[in-house]
Amino acid sequence: SSRDADARLEETAGLAVAIGVEVVEKVAFRLRQPKPGTLIGSGQVEALAETVRDSELQLAVFDAALTPVQQRNLEDALKCKVIDRTGLILEIFGERARTAEGRLQVELAHLDYQAGRLVRSWTHLERQRGGFGFLGGPGETQIEADRRLIRDRMARLRRELDQVSRTRGLHRERRQRAPWPVIALVGYTNAGKSSLFNRLTGSDVMAENLLFATLDPTLRQVSLPGIDKAILSDTVGFVSELPTQLVAAFKATLEEVVSADLLIHVRDIAHPDSEAQRADVEKVLSEIGVAEETPRFEAWNKIDLLEGERRDEVLALAAAREDVMPVSAVTGEGVEPLIDAVAAKLTQGHRRYTIALD
């Protein structure tokens, strides 16, 4: 439906903004029959080329999966850089990946994505040089050499990743032997997870301990009221319809979430698609195997952006639910009650965490 199409367009624009792109034009196309060469029809390409020219755009993001051929043809026709949904999400993950493991995974996924695009880029290059029909050109050998380079690099990355994952697994095991609860922050990209993570670890109640900082910037040892030690873990942001190749690539990072004792689902409650984003995150959580019974809170973030009736309405809804805490990572409003609620939940359900109280 057009409501869905609008929401999708807004989401993609939001993701582009998240990587620092200024969004100038948003265009929805009716696709009766996807064209193998350019996805959209030739008239649509022409109209789009005009927009690109008139507004001097440097990038066109297609909220679709483009084949390498389509991407190249569109770049030729539009005279600007073209990326598709996978490309956009790779950019976001690339920018946000903070762990060694995350960075390796993104690079691997990127190379995998690029490998499929090699042949066409090379043909393109050749045409630019005007070397159309020349005999004995670099041809296959150059492509083969490039492919081998990528294959070698990917093999090396996989070995490094193996090593890092093993180390991470060992750390996780050690932590599990220590009776410390693990609290994982999950949420849609841009919901405010990093801001809340910083807020939580920087607050007076959760005194930060740098033990894990050197090991992994997304893990912090914290103390809560009545709980001497807990681990707070920040994870990669979710987006809707994550390309499957990326789900696989990020599985290791998400394992932290699967084994967590408590989840804080950070939601941008001021976002018009907040409800759809919640559903997307829940879906990913069940896909990666998070148990239904894992205790979880929803932190309704960015309440500072709400005004008047809307704000009252949201606060009333939150008050009616025990598992919802309204917060603002920016102003700090609601953060202490969230910490108290998390601490109460952890000490209540799990006797082993009450040791610190005795």
**Binding positions for ligand GDP, rule: CB under 6 A:** 187, 189-195, 237, 301-302, 304-305, 328-330
Q: Which two tokens stand for residue 114?
A: 């690029």
Closest contact distance (angstroms) between CB of 250 and ligand GDP is: 14
- For residue 140, report the phi and psi dihedrals to the nearest 5 degrees: -55, -40
| Both tokens assigned to 229 | 């030690």
Q: Is the dihedral of CA 74, 80, 85, 86 positive or negative?
A: positive
Structure tokens at 55: 């507004």
Shortest approach of ligand GDP to residue 195 CB, angstroms?
3
Please name the residue that has the structure tokens 């959760």: 206
Nearer CB in complex with ligand GDP: 106/227: 106
Nearer to ligand GDP, 86 or 218 (CB): 218
Q: Considering the complex, what minimum distance in angstroms separates the CB of residue 328 from ligand GDP? A: 4
Kindly tell me the number of DSSP H helices and DSSP E strands found in the chain: 13, 8
Taking alpha carbons only, the member of 221, 111, 103, 89 closest to residue 164 is 103
Residue placing its CB nearer to ligand GDP in the complex, 72 or 193: 193
| Residue 277, token pair as written in the block | 């984003």
111 and 157 in contact (C-beta within 8 Å)?
yes
Query: Could you give the CA distance from residue 86 to residue 124 in angstroms, rounded to a whole number?
Result: 22
Name the residue nearer to ligand GDP (CB basis): 168 or 271.
271
Distances from the Cα of 123 to the Cα of 111, 139, 147, 218, 286, angstroms: 19, 9, 14, 42, 43
Shortest distance, position 311 Cβ to ligand GDP, whole Å: 13
- Given the complex with ligand GDP, which of 38 and 190 has the nearer CB atom? 190
Identity at 112, one-letter amino acid code: D
Q: What is the DSSP letter of 187?
A: E
Closest CB to ligand GDP among residues 332, 349:
332
Closest CA to 239 of 108, 86, 106, 112: 86
Residues 126, 66: Cα–Cα separation, whole Å: 22
> Closest Cα partner for 287 from 242, 332, 335, 339?
242
Query: Which residues have CB under 8 Å from 336's CB, separation 6+?
Result: 203, 205
Q: Which is nearer to ligand GDP, 295 or 334 (CB)?
A: 334
For residues 36 and 332, which CB has a smaller minimum distance to ligand GDP in the complex? 332
Task: Quote the least distance from Cβ 248 to ligand GDP, whole Å.
Answer: 21
Task: Provide, rounded to whole angstroms, the least separation between the CB of residue 51 and ligand GDP.
Answer: 28
Quote the least distance from Cβ 55 to ligand GDP, whole Å.
25
φ, ψ (nearest 5 deg) of residue 233: -125, 135
Q: Minimum distance between the CB of residue 266 and ligand GDP, rounded to whole angstroms? A: 6
| Least distance in angstroms from the C-beta of 279 to ligand GDP | 17
Q: Which residue is nearest to ligand GDP (CB)?
A: 192
Nearer to ligand GDP, 20 or 133 (CB): 20
